[in-house]
Structure 1
Amino acid sequence: MSSPLGHNKTRVGGVAVDQLKSIIGRVEKLTEEKEGIAADIRDVFAEAKGNGFDVKAIRTIIKLRKQDASEREEAETILHTYCHALGMTPDLFDGEESVA
């Protein structure tokens, strides 16, 4: 009978197994590092909050800085349009006469 991996037996008991173990070990190590970094980030946000900074605003700024200028501008335009449609922002031209 043939093995599920084909006729190449070294893939079952040799290099492929070692490679698989290596990959799993690397992912586990990186996951541990990721958890440590996440804890460090939480500590920085706790420090910011303890110093009176608004953590929600800081998270928003970090999110915005990840975007390029055109993505950020598009998101801000859409947000402004929706807020204006819902009456959440004043119309700067209400009550003013046209200067045309």
Structure 2
Amino acid sequence: MSKAETRAGKIAKDQLQSIIERIERLLEEKKAIADDVAAVYAEAKGNGYDTKALKAIVRMRAQDPNERAEFETILETYMQALGML
């Protein structure tokens, strides 16, 4: 193996290691944030709020308003067809 190939291999190894370490660090941060979110839901539950409803509201607020309205219309149509409304 030539010196250039060895150097290229070292650079690739260093780059790969850097990528892996960044991913690991981000996954640790993601877990910490997930733990924080769980703590907020636990606090809400302790204050008498329904966490399923809170999660549904958070999901809905993240959606595009037009897509949400379209989905709600379809859902209502299906529920009427099934005699649920």
- In the superposition, the TM-score normalised over structure 2's length comes to 0.89
Say which structure is richer in helix.
2
Q: CA deviation at 1:11?
A: 2.8
Q: Which has the larger radius of gyration?
A: 1
Bigger RCO of structures 1 and 2 (CA < 8 A, at least 6 apart): 2
Identity %, equivalent residues: 54
Equivalent in the alignment of 1:80: 76
Equivalent in the alignment of 1:94: none
Note if 1:37 corresponds to 2:33: yes
Q: 1:59-98, CA deviations, whole angstroms, 9 ceiling, x for partnerless residues?
A: 1111111111110101100110111111110xxxxxxxxx
- In the superposition, the TM-score normalised over structure 1's length comes to 0.77
Q: 1:14-45, CA deviations, whole angstroms, 9 ceiling, x for partnerless residues?
A: 21111111000000011111111111111110
Mark the runs of 5 or more structure 1 residues left unpaired by the alignment.
3-7, 90-100
Q: Which runs of 4+ in 1 moved over 6 A?
A: none
